[in-house]
């Protein structure tokens, strides 16, 4: 792993930095590039703006590894309210949640019951809830949560990471469920024993899993395939593979993050791709922001510019 990326991923897990850096105005200025604001209303305003441009969205409140059951209750209430607000605005806008934000570290059953509450509420709104995939410590438990949810709800989705060596097996074991899957490259620092270190290997695995998903998707109700990446050439290779399999480019979603490759998002939408943008918001943005910087260390220059900007 490149040293700058490794340093940023290390910083993302450092509590001392997480406490101090967000207090600085320059850091708060810099993060606005990837985040419309800290509140749900900021996120909804951004989602309405994107809707006007023909782009549907996903919302996620930033937060992870909560410390107690009261915090889990607050996050669950927040997301229930978000579902109501999304419904009231008539937005095509999913939710995406981190299991550790809903207490996975504390109590598996508490986390599952919060997820069931949210997925049930989303079903009533004809909406969908995705499980983010966090570091490899949580992969087994997240897949278990997804399987439990899918026993009662078809409107649950899961994220799988192409950098993980196990993902081909995980995907094969989930395919009989006709799962809703978001494929990503993987944002966490992982040991070489569990994850590919070489970017070329990650990209090759991504394409291979994308082909598997495209081959297997049978148009089951509620099944959404999301290719979440900003890698334009990879998206176009996947579209070509889809066409060779007799599938249209709008039979899957291309999902990108708010503020990253915005022009390309619009261009792909104009070309007939189903583009969806994930909007993150919230006060607890430090670890998530460090992971965004690690994805493109050149972004650190934007932070440096914010340091001198008035
Ligand atoms: C909708 C969505 C949901 C995600 N959910 C998860 C999840 O649940 N779990 C998880 O582990 N990861 C998740 N990720 C992050 C993902 O794993 C990657 O870390 C991230 O998408 C960067 O990889 P890439 O696929 O864009 O490809 P890369 O090869 O890293 O990047 C392709 C090109 O995109 C541009 N780019 C990529 N990232 C940035 C950036 N931060 N800033 C500026 N330009 C950039 C660069 O120009 C780069 O050349 C998600 C990503 C998206 C888009």
Q: Which residues make Cβ contacts (< 8 Å) with residue 115, sequence separation at least 6?
A: 97, 99, 102, 129, 131, 145, 149, 156
Catalytic residue among 150, 154, 182, 249: 182
Ligand 1 within 6 A of 167 CB?
no
Index of the ligand 1 atom closest to the CA of residue 132: 8
- Judge if the beta carbon of residue 292 lies within 6 A of ligand 1: yes
CA–centroid distance, residue 286 to ligand 1 (Å): 17
| Ligand 1 midpoint to CA 15 (Å) | 23
Ligand 1 within 6 A of CB of 136:
no
**Torsion angle of the four alpha carbons 88, 63, 149, 170, in this order, in degrees rounded to the nearest 10:** 130
- Where b means 16+ CB within 10 Å and e means fewer, 200-223 reads eebbebbbebbbbbbebbeeeeeb
Residue 150 a catalytic site member: no
Q: Which of 100, 85, 90 is nearest to 13 (CA)?
A: 100
How many C-alpha atoms does 206 have within 13 Å on its Cβ side? 26
Q: Is 70 exposed, middle or buried (0-12, 13-18, 19+ CB in 10 A)?
A: exposed
What does the block give as tokens for 309? 């900007």
Residue nearest to atom 28 of ligand 1 (CA): 231
- Do 97 and 79 meet the contact criterion of CB atoms below 8 Å apart? yes
pLDDT in tens, the chain (310 residues): 677 888 878 888 888 877 777 777 777 777 788 899 999 999 999 999 999 999 999 999 999 999 899 999 999 999 999 999 999 999 999 999 999 999 999 999 999 999 999 999 999 999 999 999 999 999 999 999 999 999 999 999 999 999 999 999 999 999 999 999 999 999 999 999 999 999 999 999 999 999 999 998 766 656 899 999 999 999 999 999 999 999 998 899 999 999 999 999 999 999 999 999 999 999 877 888 888 888 777 777 766 666 565 4
The CA 175 to ligand 1 mean position distance, Å, reads: 24
In this structure, are strands 253-257 and 225-228 parallel, antiparallel, or unpaired? parallel
- 159 ligand 1 Cβ < 6 A: yes
Q: Please, what's the b/e burial string for 257-289 (b: 16 or more CB within 10 A of its CB; e: otherwise)?
A: bbbbbeeebeebbeeebbbbbbbbbbebbbbbb
Q: State which of 295, 300, 303 you would mutate to test the pocket of ligand 1, scoring each by most atoms of that ligand within 8 A of its C-beta.
A: 295
This prediction has a pTM of: 0.93
* Residue 130 near residue 95, CB atoms below 8 Å: yes
Q: Is the CB of 127 under 6 A from ligand 1?
A: no
Q: Is 291 a catalytic residue?
A: no
């Amino acid at each position: 792993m490149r040293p700058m990326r490794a340093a940023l991923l290390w910083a993302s897990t450092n509590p001392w930095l997480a406490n101090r850096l967000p207090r600085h105005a320059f850091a708060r200025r810099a993060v606005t590039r990837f985040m419309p604001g800290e509140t749900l209303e900021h996120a909804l305003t951004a989602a309405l703006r994107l809707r006007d441009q023909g782009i549907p969205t996903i919302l996620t409140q930033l937060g992870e590894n909560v410390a107690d059951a009261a915090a889990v209750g607050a996050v669950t209430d927040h997301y229930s309210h978000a579902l109501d607000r999304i419904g009231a605005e008539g937005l095509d806008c999913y939710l995406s949640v981190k299991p550790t934000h809903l207490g996975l570290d504390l109590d598996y059953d508490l986390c599952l019951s919060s997820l069931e509450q949210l997925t049930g509420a989303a079903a009533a709104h004809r909406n969908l809830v995705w499980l983010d995939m966090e570091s490899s410590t949580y992969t087994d438990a997240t897949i278990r949560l997804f399987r439990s949810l899918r026993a009662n709800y078809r409107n649950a989705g899961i994220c799988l990471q192409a950098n993980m060596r196990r993902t081909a097996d995980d995907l094969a074991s989930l395919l009989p469920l006709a799962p809703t899957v978001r494929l990503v490259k993987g944002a966490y620092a992982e040991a070489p024993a569990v994850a590919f270190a070489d970017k070329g290997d990650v990209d090759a695995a991504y394409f291979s899993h994308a082909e598997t998903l495209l081959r297997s998707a049978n148009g089951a109700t509620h099944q959404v395939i999301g290719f979440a990446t900003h890698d334009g050439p990879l998206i176009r290779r996947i579209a070509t593979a889809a066409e060779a399999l007799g599938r249209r480019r709008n039979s899957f979603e291309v999902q990108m993050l708010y503020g990253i490759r915005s022009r390309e998002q619009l261009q792909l939408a104009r070309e007939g791709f189903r583009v969806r943008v994930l909007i993150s918001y919230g006060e607890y943005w430090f670890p998530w922001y460090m992971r965004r910087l690690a994805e493109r260390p050149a972004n650190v220059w934007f932070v440096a510019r914010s340091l001198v900007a008035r």
